[in-house]
Amino acid sequence: MIHIGKIATLLEDILAQKDYSKILVLVDEHIEANCLPLLFSKDSLIHFELIKIPSGEEHKTLDTCQLIWDQFNQHHVDRNAVLINLGGGVICDMGGFAASTYKRGIDFINIPTTILAMVDASYGGKTGINFNGIKNNIGVFKNAIETIIHPVFLQTLPFRELRSGWAEIIKHGLIADRDYFARIEPITELTKITEAAWTEIIRTSIQIKSSIVDQDPEEKGIRKILNFGHTIGHAIESASLKTDQPLLHGEAIAIGMLLEIELSVEHNHFSLEESRRIAKYIKHILKIFARIIGILIQTIGKIF
């Protein structure tokens, strides 16, 4: 189930429903400093064990999973424990995978702290890690028992992370809801979006993705439309991780969407006029091409 609201109260209510043997919280160093205090006050009645891993897509690996599993063992975690994944897409993906495979599966709760995780990575049942340079090469389908979302965490994000997450919001509008895209298209200043507006945007994106996932939980059919921009984008993202200027996920997906739209135009599935309008917005809101062209040259050099 997905909740949008006051995280501390919701979390206490959820944890009270089951007598967990242990409560563990997975974070990276940035989340520990900026987001953990927003979740657990000094007066919190929730006792938990903290597990900290290094931040970044480059650490979404089997080695980092091993660190998590080692910590589970050190804390004597059994099947009646629960893991709270507090963080962005990397934390939610990898924490969900680690929990789903430890002792054949323990409960986990996702509390996303980035736009990208709030509208995409924290729900839908996909968990996993990168392996041998291939994005999300190993993973399982396993749903969090609960996902708790609150826009308050967006105040902790660097601007570049906001832009990265916006790519997934654009994707939802393009694949499923013209009216939604028309509502977000006038937005060009992400830092001026109010908490109430963020809540409505997040809620709409969740409704779009959830309606698709409910029809096809294991991506055997219609759910594949959620991969718009990702087929090419993941390849670019994976290659960029080998450079000294790796792309954020949303930046790579934005490039993937632009290239896949061009393919649609070439195959007469999309009008040239619409493609130019959408490309103009994506380029403007993400401000990607002037800065990223050098990264792409490095990326292509690594591939060839």
Is 209 one of the catalytic residues? yes
Given 110, 171, 223, 260, the catalytic residue: 223
Given 57, 168, 237, 260, the catalytic residue: 168
Given 126, 135, 163, 172, the catalytic residue: 126
Given 57, 161, 209, 237, the catalytic residue: 209
Is 219 one of the catalytic residues? yes
Is 168 one of the catalytic residues? yes
Is 284 one of the catalytic residues? no
Is 230 one of the catalytic residues? yes
Given 143, 234, 237, 260, the catalytic residue: 234
Is 126 one of the catalytic residues? yes
Is 274 one of the catalytic residues? no
Given 227, 242, 262, 283, the catalytic residue: 227
Concatenate the DSSP letters of all residues of the chain into one string: -EEES-HHHHHHHHHHTS--S-EEEEEEHHHHHHTHHHHS-TT-----EEEEE--SGGG-SHHHHHHHHHHHHHTT--TT-EEEEEESHHHHHHHHHHHHHGGG--EEEEEE-SHHIIIIITSSSEEEEEETTEEEEEEEE---SEEEE-GGGGGGS-HHHHHHHHHHHHHHHHHH-HHHHHHHTT---GGG--HHHHHHHHHHHHHHHHHHHHH-TTSSSGGGGGGTTHHHHHHHHHHHTTSSSPPPHHHHHHHHHHHHHHHHHHTTSS-HHHHHHHHHHHHHHH--HHHHHHHHHHHHHHH-
Given 57, 249, 251, 260, the catalytic residue: 249
Is 104 one of the catalytic residues? yes
Given 110, 146, 230, 251, the catalytic residue: 230
Catalytic positions, written as ranges? 104, 126, 168, 209, 219, 223, 227, 230, 234, 249
